[in-house]
């Protein structure tokens, strides 16, 4: 039985994604801070998983955290998988797309809004659909 609704081979993911998005979504990479196209992006619309198109965040969930990556205070319910991450000598919570398993970033409990959360997401793991 498949773990995710959308599963592809490594070669299929490589052909479907640009190299940076493949590195992040499929190999758990991280883009350099302050370089992603959605870091300081505040248009109205929906942020989707670049791997499968699943809606993950809406623009009203986004805020400027100063951390260098797009930040959200919550996610669309049921769209994110939370995974304990003990890499790099830290204990963090990795966030992945619940539809395809693509790595998005991490969630931290230092957010400034009432949720207290900061979803720190790589721009290269996202696509944006502007609200009409």
CB 111 within 8 A of CB 14: no
Query: With 0-12 CB in 10 A as exposed, 13-18 as middle and 19+ as buried, what is 127?
Result: middle
Of 49, 96, 97, 120, catalytic: 120
100 is catalytic: no
Q: How far apart are CA 38 and CA 30, in angstroms?
A: 14
User: Which contiguous run of DSSP H or E holds residue 22?
Assistant: helix 19-27
Positive or negative torsion for Cα 115, 122, 14, 29: negative
Active site residues: 120
């Amino acid at each position: 039985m498949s773990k995710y609704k959308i599963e592809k081979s490594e070669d299929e993911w490589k052909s479907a994604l640009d190299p940076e998005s493949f590195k992040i979504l499929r190999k758990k990479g991280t883009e350099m801070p302050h370089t992603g196209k959605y870091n300081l992006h505040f248009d109205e619309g929906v942020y989707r998983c670049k791997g499968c198109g699943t809606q993950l965040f809406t623009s009203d969930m986004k805020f400027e955290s100063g951390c260098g990556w797009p930040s959200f205070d919550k996610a669309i319910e049921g769209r994110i998988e939370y995974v304990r991450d003990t890499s790099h000598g830290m204990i963090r919570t990795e966030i992945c797309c619940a539809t395809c398993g693509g790595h998005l970033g991490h969630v931290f409990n230092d957010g400034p809004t009432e949720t207290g959360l900061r979803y720190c997401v790589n721009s290269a793991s996202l696509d944006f659909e502007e609200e009409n």
